[in-house]
Amino acid sequence: MNISDIERLTQILKDHPELGSIEVRGWFGRGLVVTRNGYGFAPAAQVFHAAPAPPAAAPSGHPTPGAEAAARTESAPASAIALKEIKSPMVGTFYRAPEPGAEPYIKVGSRVVAGQTVCIIEAMKIMNEIEAEITGVVREISVEDTQPVEFGTVLFRVDPNG
């Protein structure tokens, strides 16, 4: 295997973020293991930080087509607009507790602080602890335990003012 082969494998991972890793083995177990998690290369068992949702863009002078219709059909209460989302940083299986039968990390009404573990997402037999990047009170848990999640799936909604 030469450097151009490795560059092609790396490009495949960049082009297909749904892939978690590429492993190439030769005789006697020698080979190359390339793993891609989230936005870059990461070692196994890395702790991922779930980023809060970006702030909404300020309205411009000219609304885009359909924006008025979307605003009319949106029925979210005013309090829901203030909630911040904790989203999944990867594809995997969502777990609310550290092990079966254990108490969940957080419940609706729990207070979380930035850096606190809020759940686990299992990806390729690796348990990845997901930490909150915001402080507040959990108002909604959007995913059921053991449910598969995609990158960007909303896991929790947190009231930073609570």
Domain edges within the chain: 3-41, 48-54+81-159
Query: Which residues, other chains included, contact 4 with Cβ-Cβ below 8 Å and sequence gap of 6+?
Result: none
Helix (H, G, I), strand (E, B) or coil at 153: coil
Type and span of the H or E element at 14: helix 3-15
Question: pLDDT category, 108, cuts 50, 70, 90?
Answer: very high
82-91: pLDDT as tens digits: 889 999 999 9
Per-residue pLDDT, averaged over 15-26, amounts to 67
Q: Indicate the fold that domain 48-54+81-159 takes in CATH.
A: OB fold (Dihydrolipoamide Acetyltransferase, E2P) (2.40.50)
The pair of three-digit structure tokens given for residue 88, joined into one six-digit string: 């999944």
The CA distances from residue 116 to 35, 48, 89, 105, 134, in Å, are 26, 11, 15, 9, 9
> Among positive and negative, which fits the CA dihedral 53, 59, 60, 63?
positive
pLDDT for the residue numbered 18 = 63
Round the average pLDDT of the chain to a whole number and report it: 73
pLDDT for the residue numbered 43 = 40
